Amino acid sequence: YSFTLKGKISDADRKLILDGLGEAGSAYRTNVYANGFSGTKKDISKTDILNFVELALEYLDHSIDANKRADNMYHAYNLMAVESENEISISYLSEMLEGQVAVLSAGYLSSESCLAVLDGLKASSLFREDQYSYILYPDKELPRFVDKNNIASKKVEQSGLLKQLLKDGNKQIIEKDVAGNYHFNGSFNNANSLKNSLSELPKEQYGKLIEQDREYLLNIFEEVFDHKSFTGRSGTFFGYEGLGSIYWHMVSKLLLAVQECSLKAIEDNENDEIVGRLLDHYYEINEGIGVHKSPELYGAFPTDPYSHTPAGKGAQQPGMTGQVKEDILSRIGELGVMVNKGKLQFKPDLLRKEEFLQKGGSLTYTDLNKQQKELNLEENSLGFTYCQIPIIYKLAEKENLEVVFSEDSILEHDELLLDEATSKKVFERTGEINRIIVSIKK
């Protein structure tokens, strides 16, 4: 089916691909059920595996391109509909923050395209001004009860069965209210209810009309209720990650994704404007996260992790959410602590100068022997621990790296990269290293 990658996949090609994959999976499942697993192992060549991976990546890339929206964001969830025996169509749910995080994390987009996604996101209905952050999906006005289950008059007029049922006063399928509006039977809960009621109609009286209008009525039913677009609480609740809610874990996922894009842009030597604008987005998203806010704005203790913030309320549902993991990873990325081929490296490209101490201070930490220690910090420095070893950053005239061992010997490097042997001592927490001093060029 690789011929379909050359352009837009048609509804007919989509059905062809689905049938091919479905039948292959069905044949495999049937064989396993009938014969079990043979236990026989076969060799697969490296070339075949690489070719398979390359082809899979082509399909993934094609899928990303196909889901680009006019506003430079990307569709996240698609809905399929079987139009006929030979065609399957695709429609889209509304824009979602999750989809933008996914495409930014995919490693497929160029730095310029990443910037376009973020610009589109900031200008979209997902941006929530009061918290300066992003909701999961656009807020919306839910229809009132009287606005639901209404069948358009012209749809009724085009159905011989519905007109006959109304004429006969039969309310098994449709009912006309005192205002002249038409509604499906109020006890229906899905399309199966409609199918069952159609099968219960007297055959001698309505048989031909049922045969003629069955698919038409099922299509009207789906148009009225749009069950295939139902997303549960996200589209109906106002709390618990529902309408208007910020889901903080997803915002932190966004932060980490934008950091990855920013670091890649720096690594690829993109121009200053692109890098600068990516970093602007990064720090704006970062400032929107609770830990940087006042208790009044956040609605809770800013240093406590919370699940979500509904519209018109403060942060709700406290707990050790996944947000904590993403925020730790983002902070490590800001500090520029990286591991490359077993070597510990320091590349604080995202670290801002204002984070360095304006006057002397101290770093309190717990060492490998579970003893609390305190280390003095000079002006224009900052400190943190990595594998329980104090790392001291300080602004200097040139880059330099000093590893201070427990016996007070010092190992110096002209670049901010440890050798593999010293890195291993850090990772294995051998206790041989007392601290690491990283001099960063002003």
Whether residue 441 has pLDDT greater than 80: yes
How confident is the prediction for the chain on average, in pLDDT?
Answer: 94
Confidence (pLDDT) at 50? 98
267 by DSSP, 3-state: which? helix
193 HSE (CA, 13 A, CB side): 12
Burial classification of residue 159, based on how many CB atoms lie within 10 Å of its CB (0-12 exposed, 13-18 middle, 19 or more buried): buried
Average pLDDT over residues 193-212: 95
Confidence (pLDDT) at 235? 80
Q: Which tops the pLDDT comparison, 233 or 287?
A: 287
DSSP 42: -
Claim: this prediction has a pTM higher than 0.85: yes
- Residue 398 backbone zone (phi > 0: left; psi -120 to 50: alpha; other: beta): beta
DSSP 43: -
Q: Are 434 and 392 in contact (CB under 8 A)?
A: no
Average pLDDT over residues 370-389: 96
The letter for the amino acid at 37 is F
Whether residue 236 has pLDDT greater than 90: no
DSSP strands (E only) in 275-321: 306-309, 316-318
Q: What percentage of residues in the chain have a pLDDT greater than 70?
A: 100
* Nearest in space to 327 (alpha carbons), one of 259, 264, 244: 259
Confidence (pLDDT) at 238? 80
What is the sign, positive or negative, of the torsion defined by CA atoms of 231, 233, 237, 239?
A: negative
Confidence (pLDDT) at 412? 94
pLDDT tens digits, residue range 273-299?
999 999 999 999 999 998 889 999 999
pLDDT tens digits, residue range 53-98?
999 999 999 999 999 999 999 999 999 988 899 999 999 999 999 9
